[in-house]
């Protein structure tokens, strides 16, 4: 290790849900609130244990393509 040679390298890629939330700049709590889901459900999606289906998947896709829409929805909710 001191020579800079490693046996393996671990690369962690963000999944689509985590990437969409990241693009909005919202916390997990805020993002879950906009999607009307629990924070735990969002965490399950981001960790890859579960996957959004139906309308939730569509909302995540919208968040990824147009993050300003999600932040606007949050500001209207408050």
Is 53 a domain residue? yes
Is 1 a domain residue? no
Which CATH number goes with the domain that contains 57?
Answer: 1.10.260
Domain range for 53 is: 16-77
Is 33 a domain residue? yes
Confidence check: pLDDT of 2 > 70: no
Instruction: State the total domains in the chain.
Output: 1
Mean pLDDT of the chain: 87
pLDDT greater at residue 77 or residue 8: 77
**51 and 45 in contact (C-beta within 8 Å)?**
yes
pTM of the model: 0.78
Segment 42-58, tens digit of pLDDT:
999 999 999 999 999 99
| CA 60 – CA 27 distance, rounded (Å) | 14
| CA 69 – CA 47 distance, rounded (Å) | 24
**Following DSSP, what letter does each residue of 10-74 receive, concatenated?**
------HHHHHHHHHT--HHHHHHHHT--HHHHHHHHTTSS---THHHHHHHHHHH-HHHHHHHH
Confidence check: pLDDT of 13 > 80: no
């Amino acid at each position: 290790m001191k020579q800079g040679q490693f046996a393996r390298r671990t690369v962690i890629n963000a999944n689509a849900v985590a990437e969409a939330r990241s693009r909005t700049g919202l916390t997990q709590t805020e993002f879950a609130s906009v999607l009307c889901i629990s924070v735990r459900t969002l965490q399950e999606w981001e960790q890859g244990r579960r996957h959004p289906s139906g309308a939730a998947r569509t909302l995540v896709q919208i968040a990824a393509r147009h993050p300003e829409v999600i932040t606007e929805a949050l500001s209207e909710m408050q």
